[in-house]
Amino acid sequence: MKFRLNIFLTLLLLTLSHFVVAQDKLLKIEDVQNRKYYPTGIYDVKFMGDSDSYSFTKDGKTLWVGSAKEDAKEVLRLADFKTHKPLSLIGIKYLNDYQFYYVSSDNELCTYNMKTKESGAYAALEKDVTIYEVNYFPSRIAYKKDNNLFVQINFKDNQITTDGSRDIVYAEAVHRNEFGIEKGLFWSKNGEKLAFYRMDQSMVTDYPLVSTEERVAKYTPVKYPMAGMKSHEVLVGVYDVASQNVVYLKTRKDESVEEREMYLTNICFSDDAKTIYVAKLNRLQNHLMLESYDATTGDKISVLFEEKSDKYVEPEAPMVFVPNSPNQFLWLSERDGFNHIYIYDTTGKLIKQLTSGNWMIKSIEGFNDKKDEVLVYATKDSPIENNFYGINLKTGKITRYSKDNGNHNVAFNTKGNLFIDTYSNYNEVASKTQIVDKKGNILKLLHSSENPLKDIDAPTIEISTLKAKDGTELYYRMIKPKDFDPNKKYPVLVYVYGGPHAQLVTNSHLGGANNFFMFLAQQGYIVWTLDNRGSANRGYAFESAIWHNCGSIEVSDQMDGVNYLKSLPYVDSERIGVDGWSYGGFMTISLKLKNPGVFKVATAGGPVIDWKWYEVMYGERYMGSPENNPEGYKNASLLNYIDKLEGKLLLIEGYQDATVLPQHSIEFIRNSVKKGKQVDFFLYPDHEHNVRGKDRIHLYQKIYQYHKENL
Whether the CB-CB separation of 357 and 315 falls below 8 Å is answered with no
Q: How many CA atoms lie within 13 A of 424 on its CB side?
A: 19
List the CATH code of the domain at 125-318: 2.140.10.30
pLDDT in tens, 161-187: 999 999 999 999 999 999 999 999 999
DSSP of 8-52, one letter per residue? HHHHHHHHHHHHHHHHHTS--GGGTT-GGGS----EEEEE-TTSS
Domain boundaries, the chain: 2-28, 125-318, 460-494+526-710
Cis, bond preceding 326 (omega within 30 deg of 0): no
CA 53 to chain centre: 30
Asked if pLDDT for residue 21 goes beyond 90, the answer is no
**What pLDDT, on a 0 to 100 scale, did the predictor assign at position 14?**
43
Band (pLDDT 50/70/90 cuts) for residue 118 is very high
User: What pLDDT was estimated at residue 482?
Assistant: 86
The better pLDDT of the pair 305, 456 is held by 305
- Band of the pLDDT at 23, cuts 50, 70, 90? low
pLDDT at 24: 63
Task: Judge contact between 518 and 509, C-beta under 8 A.
Answer: no
pLDDT, tens only, 413-451: 999 999 999 999 999 999 999 999 999 999 999 999 999
Give yes or no for a contact between 652 and 604, defined as CB atoms under 8 angstroms apart.
Answer: yes
Q: Helices 695-710 and 515-522 sit at what angle, rounded to 10 degrees?
A: 30
What is the four-CA torsion angle of 653, 657, 661, 667, rounded to 10 degrees?
Answer: 20
Alpha carbons 1 and 579: distance in angstroms, whole number: 55
For 660, left (φ over 0), alpha (ψ -120 to 50), or beta? beta
Which CATH code fits 460-494+526-710? Answer: 3.40.50.1820
In terms of Cβ atoms closer than 10 Å to its own Cβ (0-12, 13-18, 19+), residue 154 is exposed
Q: What is the 3-class SS of 685-704, one letter each residue?
A: CCCCCCCCCCHHHHHHHHHH
Residue 615 Ramachandran class (φ > 0 left, ψ -120 to 50 alpha, else beta)? beta
The residues near 395 (Cβ < 8 Å, ≥ 6 apart) are none
Torsion of CA 17, 19, 25, 26, to 10 degrees: -150
Sequence-distant (6+) residues with CB within 8 A of 341 are 330, 331, 332, 353, 354, 355, 361, 364, 374, 376, 391
**Per-residue pLDDT tens over the stretch 281-326:** 999 999 999 999 999 999 999 999 999 999 999 999 999 999 989 8
**pLDDT tens track for 667-710:** 999 999 999 999 999 999 999 999 999 999 999 999 999 999 99
**List of E strands, 73-231:** 73-77, 93-94, 99-103, 108-113, 118-124, 132-135, 140-145, 148-153, 156-159, 168-170, 185-187, 193-200, 206-207, 210-211, 218-219, 222-223
Predicted pLDDT of residue 108: 93
What is residue 600's three-state secondary structure? Answer: coil
Higher pLDDT, 357 or 324: 357
Section 389-404 average pLDDT = 97
| CA–CA distance, 417 with 438 (Å, rounded to integer) | 5
What local confidence, expressed as pLDDT, does residue 137 receive? Answer: 85
Report the catalytic residues: 582, 657, 689
Average pLDDT over residues 261-271: 98
- Altogether, the residues listed in the chain come to a count of 711
Average pLDDT, the chain: 95
> Per-residue pLDDT tens for 563-580?
999 999 999 999 999 999
CA distance 272 to 245: 18
With 0.85 as the threshold, say if the pTM is over it: yes
